[in-house]
Amino acid sequence: MIKKLLAVILCAGLVLAGMAGCSNVSDLVSGVAAGEFPVTINDVTIGGRPSKVAVLSPSLADVVLALGCETQLAACSGACTQGGLASLTKVDPGDVQAISAVNPDLILLDPGCAGAEQALKEAGFTVLNIAPAVNREDFERLYSQVSSALCGGGPGYDKGIECAQDIFGVLDDINRLVPQQDTVTTACYLYDLNGSAVTGDTLTSTIMTYCGVTNIFSSLSGGQYSEDDLRVSNPTVIFCRPGLTEELRNDSRYNNLMAVRDGNIVELEPSEVEWQGRTVINAAIAISGGAYPEMLEETSIGENTDPTSKIEDNVSSALASARPEDSSAPEYEQLSPEDQSEEVYKMQERLEELRYLDTEYDGYYGEHTGECVKEFQRVNGLEQTGVADVDTLKRLYSTLAKDKDGKVPAIENAPTMGPNSGDNSSSSSSEDGDGSSSEG
């Protein structure tokens, strides 16, 4: 099964080649042409790059993390439980005094915090209300607005679009892993049995389609359903908040539901279907694995591992192992700034092939090379450290490495050697693009 996943992932990666260009999203952010501050979003003008941002929406906080802009955050609401935000000051959206103590230069919130918006504006704060996305195109709008608010017009706007497209590119990959069937797999996500569910006007309903399932409430809106809606639609699988499984099993109204009868009930935290950062990917993995258990067969992972971890492990292993057939699968060792070696030279060659490195180089890992590594990591969805760790090198030499434009080069242009294969006699003492010369 892992070999099958690897083959599909390799094909899927090549299809992503045309996805990274900017979309035709317009009239979302003014000031785009200038590429600088001030920038106006939703009639709110931000005069300069904010450095002390308070984010009061956990979903927007998730987006900020996906964009890699968490260093600009100074505070967040207590509902923002992401690990990357643990050190931030926690504030209640309605506690103007506590927020004033942080003195943020920008406050990000969504319509769910609307009750606090007016009071914060009256207190003199710059408050930006950004609505959650409801579909793929709107996902780009969301990311372009958040990124522009934090990083400025042109560059920030483009960064947001690229990040949104990158996340949906992964959803495209997951969609290609879904088994093809003659019958339609129907599903729903229930918050409770009192009429609260994921309806067709939410992003999660769109994500479900990428997971190969049809949301039975796709024609409904406002997050509300009726008992008849659920019983008549009779879903194949039910996703629900933790604890709801027993309620469903013990409720005589739903004893005959196919999902209940067959035990096809999967519990997911509400945050997984509500947050719109990279949590979107976690949700898609969990939904596809819950709907298609065969995707979990023949894995090397323990039987007690949850569906998300199992599929994620398969996908991650496939990505990390993706190399040309003639590769000698070298053992990678971390390369760090100020290193000087043939391995660094070969890494620079590969960075040049992918158009990240555009200056002369000689095997010295200087500041410019570090910035190129960091940019490669950003485009390829890795942690942006500037250090070429093992995961970075595996991706760099793989057939799925994305170039500077976010495109995957044609398979015939894939690298033919890793850092421990072959010899390169052109490693000379020419002036290095980092401003340092080789020491021989």
Of the pLDDT bands very low, low, confident and very high (cuts 50, 70, 90), residue 380 is confident
Q: What is the DSSP string of 46-72?
A: E-S--SSEEE--HHHHHHHHHHT-GGG
Q: 373 with 433: CB under 8 angstroms?
A: no
Q: What predicted TM-score, i.e. pTM, was given to this entire model?
A: 0.66
pLDDT score, position 287: 95
- pLDDT mean across residues, the chain: 82
Order of strands across the sheet that contains 214-215:
214-215, 186-190, 237-240, 265-267
At the topology level of CATH, where does 7-172 sit? Answer: Rossmann fold (3.40.50)
Angle in degrees, 0-180, between the axes of helices 136-151 and 58-67, rounded to the nearest 10: 70
pLDDT digits (tens, 9 = 90+) for 254-306: 999 999 999 999 999 999 999 999 999 999 999 999 999 877 654 333 444 44
| C-alpha Rg value of the chain to the nearest Å | 24
pLDDT at residue 10 greater than cutoff 70: no
Looking at the chain, the domain(s) classified CATH 3.40.50.1980 span 7-172, 178-321
Higher-confidence position of 25 and 180: 180
- The H-assigned helical ranges of 84-219 are 96-102, 114-122, 136-151, 154-177, 203-210
Q: In the chain, what is the straight-line distance between the N-terminal and C-terminal CA atoms, in Å?
A: 48
Residue 45 pairs in a beta bridge with 40
The DSSP call for residue 147 is H
**Whole-number pLDDT of residue 108:** 98
Q: What is the pLDDT of residue 79?
A: 96
Superfamily designation of domain 178-321: Nitrogenase molybdenum iron protein domain (3.40.50.1980)
* CATH number, domain 324-440: 1.10.101.10
- Residue span(s) of the chain under CATH 1.10.101.10 come to 324-440
